[in-house]
Structure 1
Amino acid sequence: MRLSRSLASVTAAVCLVMSLPYDAMPHARVETRRAAAPEPFGASCHSRITGSQVTAYCHNPYPRTDGVRLHIECDRWWDLDSDGAQVRAGPAQTVRLTGRCWKEIRAVWVSHRKLAR
């Protein structure tokens, strides 16, 4: 009978310790490295559609070179969509990208790619 009382008190103590939050229990202090802040990247671009012509201007305010490409989706099924050539936008540089469709334009966007310095 005495054994079961002892076992009950040990079980209660173990349950109490296990229910404590992790921070309340003593543990070895471990130094963690903080991840470096990501390097700012990406030229800011704005585009203008005039009829079937597109002009986009991209300005890169960051120190890393950005490879920008103009993509045009034409509205008509027979009109070919186009992906422009990649243009290097260096630090503090503004580049102009142009393209066109034969008729109406459905969508325009600019893609970005990190390039070697």
Structure 2
Amino acid sequence: MPASRRRTAALTAALTALLGVTASAARAVPPAPADDPRDVPRAHCRTAVVGSTGTARCFNPNGTLSRVRLHIECKRWYDPDVDTRAVPVGPAQGVTVAGRCWQEIQDLWVSQEPGE
């Protein structure tokens, strides 16, 4: 085998080994936490409407405290909208938050903020 071919084969083998080690090392390192405030651990909430009552059931699978608040927009102009107080949801806990309109509900959603 000529010397140039041996060097090429050796370089190819070295590069393959280096890339294999680099790829496995990259897989072993966990991703860095993002600085984006939207990536804050949150409770998981499901909402439901039954008649004129809106309900949110939230469960916090994280190790941090979270505060959830239910917001209800009523359909009629004379019906006041509802914003509940912030309810703390501890780690591995669940809460149910409810509110109602006098008549129909147009929209409801849950807002969250980190607990202290």
Instruction: Please state which band the TM-score falls in when normalised by the shorter chain.
Output: 0.5 to 0.7
Stretches of 4+ aligned residues off by more than 2 angstroms: none
Aligned residues: 82
Q: TM-score, normalised by structure 2?
A: 0.67
8 Å CA contact 1:52, 1:102 repeated in 2: yes
Aligned counterparts of 1:87 and 1:40: Cα–Cα separation in 2:
17
8 Å CA contact 1:42, 1:60 repeated in 2: yes
- Using the TM superposition, give the Cα deviation of residue 43 of structure 1 relative to its aligned residue in structure 2, in angstroms: 0.5
8 Å CA contact 1:40, 1:62 repeated in 2: no
After superposition, give the CA deviation of every residue in 1:19-44 in whole Å (9 maximum; x if it has no partner).
xxxxxxxxxxxxxxxx9414751001
Aligned counterparts of 2:64 and 2:111: Cα–Cα separation in 1:
15
1:1-117 matches, within 5 Å, as: 36-38=32-34, 41-116=41-116
- Using the TM superposition, give the Cα deviation of residue 45 of structure 1 relative to its aligned residue in structure 2, in angstroms: 0.4
Aligned counterparts of 1:87 and 1:36: Cα–Cα separation in 2:
30
Structure with bigger gyration radius: 1
Aligned counterparts of 2:74 and 2:54: Cα–Cα separation in 1:
11
- Residue 22 of structure 2 is matched in structure 1 by none
Q: Give me the identity figure in percent.
A: 45
List runs of 5+ in structure 1 lacking aligned partners: 1-34
After superposition, give the CA deviation of every residue in 1:38-91 in whole Å (9 maximum; x if it has no partner).
475100100110000111100000011000000000000000001001000000
Q: Which amino acid aligns with 2:84?
A: G
